[in-house]
Amino acid sequence: MDDINIRKATVDDSDIVYRLLKDMREGEGRLDAFVITPEEFKRDGFGENKCFEAMIVENKNKKEAIGFATYFFGYNGDCGRMLYLEDIYIEPVYRSKGYGTAVFKYMAKITIDENARRMEWCVMDDPSWNAKTIEFYKKFNSIDDNLKQLYLHGEVLKKCAEF
């Protein structure tokens, strides 16, 4: 793939990555859950106390951003340091051309280079609209240990935090 460039996103890329993230949520039918502002995104990913990293995927021929990946490092009680791949997105027109595979492999390399033992992610397990993504991850022999991701958000989180 000579026409792809994957690089660490800079603060100057913040608006582009934010737009792509919003496009991804819209494509998932989850735009109502997308509450982060561009300012929060810039602060959290590119500010003094950032809590995630971002990679930007560019088409060299067209000199444009066509995707991104966001990730952070965490700790797993079984294996220690791990990379959590929060989001990976390639614009629809560029899919099934090897870009997603290149980004995924790039993220695996970052995992190893940063001395992490595991790369972890979640996938929306709804074959009615996400079958291609599910199949994409299966081709890497990813491990599905039937864990279910749970979370608290918004008012439910506030209610839980009351003592």
Give the tens place of pLDDT for each residue, 6-30: 999 999 999 999 999 999 999 999 9
| Residue 81 scores a pLDDT above 80 | yes
- Total residues belonging to the chain: 163
Of the candidates 127, 150, 151, the one whose C-alpha atom is nearest the C-alpha of residue 138 is 127
Q: Percent helix, strand and coil across the chain, each rounded to 5?
A: 40, 25, 35
Of the candidates 62, 60, 42, 61, the one whose C-alpha atom is nearest the C-alpha of residue 52 is 42
Of the pLDDT bands very low, low, confident and very high (cuts 50, 70, 90), residue 128 is confident
Of the pLDDT bands very low, low, confident and very high (cuts 50, 70, 90), residue 112 is very high
pTM of the model: 0.90
